[in-house]
Copies of this chain bind each other. A is one copy, B any other.
Amino acid sequence: MENFIAYNPVKLIFGRDVVNARMKRELSVFGSNVLLIYGKGSIKRNGIYSQVLTILKESGKNVFEYGGIKSNPLCTDAQAAVQLAYENKADMVLAVGGGSVIDTAKLVALCSPANDHVWKVMKGEVKPARALPLVSVLTLAATGTEMNQFAVLQNPDTGEKIGFGSPLVYPAVSFLDPAYMVSVPVNYTAYGIADICAHLLEAYFGEGDAPLSDKWVFAIMRELIEVGEPLLKDPGSYTLRERVLWASTQALNGTTLHGRKSGEWGVHDIGHTISFLYDIPHGATLSVAYPAWMKHLLPHIQQRLKTLGENVFGVNDPEKTIEALTHFFRKISCPVSLAELNLQDKKSEILNLMIKNKVSGMHFKLTEEDLLRIVGLM
């Protein structure tokens, strides 16, 4: 194992009706001026918006809103929200939505105190000294952002979609009510599950020996395999929603990485490129890219694939592990080829942007030749 620091200060409040039960109390320690950030309006249709607004009013908060955050969120939206927070002297940021909304809110919380330039902060060119406290209410199980220090935004001007991490952007409090997810459409539920799988694999294929973290990866993956298909058949099930939701948080809250030198993240980089070009949901790009990445890297990851297969899929051959993963993605109706996304003719375009953006992994560095072959396998 490598030396590591285990630290995650997020207070995560999980379960049925937790927003009504605890939000007022948790908000009481923060100031009165609240910037509320949300997405395209689904929270207005399902009642979460009015529930939260009632609590904010009863708490005596002054609320100003920035709605309309889209999936594959833009730094330009974050910048506009920073402006709003700065002008209104926001004391805290409240994000109500999925990963896109919370990721946006993380940068808003970080850039608002000094009205900083969001993309420069993302790029590490500006380093804010502090952030506003961030409270999140999650409405989609997938990215794990509710309990980590990461955010991913894209820049429509430069053609980049990149990740950012800082201990300053851990949410102070996150509310996770599985009942909020029962109205998530089946396809987005499935993409979320593919994303969770990919997070586990990005940890597992990282650098360094971390036997207990490996076992934790296997445990969460088996949990997903147990509940994934049943949930898609019964999307209204609270019990299945809560299991996927909790797996989702655990898959990317740092606990799968303890003792490793790094994660891998090459497949996420590939997926971000496809999402950027064609606005494909994140998880749907990962279920296409992971099997292709594995097939191409096979000679280098034989033993890792074998161990994964033995512990998760009950197979004992590296190629069978890839088949089993592909089969699982298919069973939950996630695409496993570019053709299924109607992108079979776009391989050159995808390759060119990957090369331009220097797409690579952290452990297995990908050359242009590697990228060419991986795209060929997708």
Q: Which residues of B contact A211 (CB under 8 A)?
A: 223, 226, 243
A258 at the interface (CB under 8 A from B): yes
Q: Which residues of B contact A147 (CB under 8 A)?
A: 6
Number of interface residues, chain A, beta carbon within 8 A: 38
Specify the chain B residue showing the minimal Cβ separation from A226.
B211
Q: Which of A11-19, A71-79, A94-102 contacts B (4 or more CB under 8 A)?
A: A11-19
Whether the Cβ atoms of A220 and B226 lie closer than 8 Å is no
A341 at the interface (CB under 8 A from B): no
Q: Which residues of B contact A3 (CB under 8 A)?
A: 14-16, 18
Q: Which of A231-264 contact B (CB under 8 A)?
A: 239, 242-243, 246-247, 249-250, 255, 258-259
A49 at the interface (CB under 8 A from B): no
Specify the chain B residue showing the minimal Cβ separation from A14.
B4
Whether the Cβ atoms of A1 and B242 lie closer than 8 Å is yes
A188 at the interface (CB under 8 A from B): no
A340 at the interface (CB under 8 A from B): no
A314 at the interface (CB under 8 A from B): no
Docked pose: A13 CA to B255 CA in angstroms: 14
Q: Which of A4-29 contact B (CB under 8 A)?
A: 4-16, 18
Separation in Å of the A104 CB from the closest CB of chain B? 24
Separation in Å of the A21 CB from the closest CB of chain B? 8
A363 at the interface (CB under 8 A from B): no
A216 at the interface (CB under 8 A from B): yes
Chain B CB within 10 A, most for which of A3, A5, A222? A3
Whether the Cβ atoms of B250 and A212 lie closer than 8 Å is yes
Q: Which residues of B contact A215 (CB under 8 A)?
A: 219-220, 222-223
Contact residue among B1, B7, B13, B222 (Cβ-Cβ distance under 8 Å from A12): B7
Binding site for B on A (CB under 8 A): 1-16, 18, 147, 211-212, 215-216, 218-220, 222-223, 226, 239, 242-243, 246-247, 249-250, 255, 258-259
Can you identify 26 A-B contacts, CB atoms within 8 angstroms? A1-B15, A1-B243, A1-B246, A2-B15, A3-B14, A3-B16, A4-B14, A4-B15, A5-B12, A5-B13, A5-B14, A6-B10, A6-B11, A6-B14, A6-B249, A7-B10, A7-B12, A211-B223, A212-B219, A212-B223, A212-B246, A212-B247, A216-B219, A219-B219, A246-B258, A246-B259
| 9 A-B pairs closest in CB distance | A3-B15, A215-B219, A6-B12, A7-B11, A9-B9, A219-B219, A212-B223, A5-B13, A1-B242
**Other contacts beyond A6-B147, A212-B220: 8, CB < 8 A:** A2-B15, A5-B13, A6-B11, A7-B10, A7-B11, A212-B246, A216-B219, A219-B219
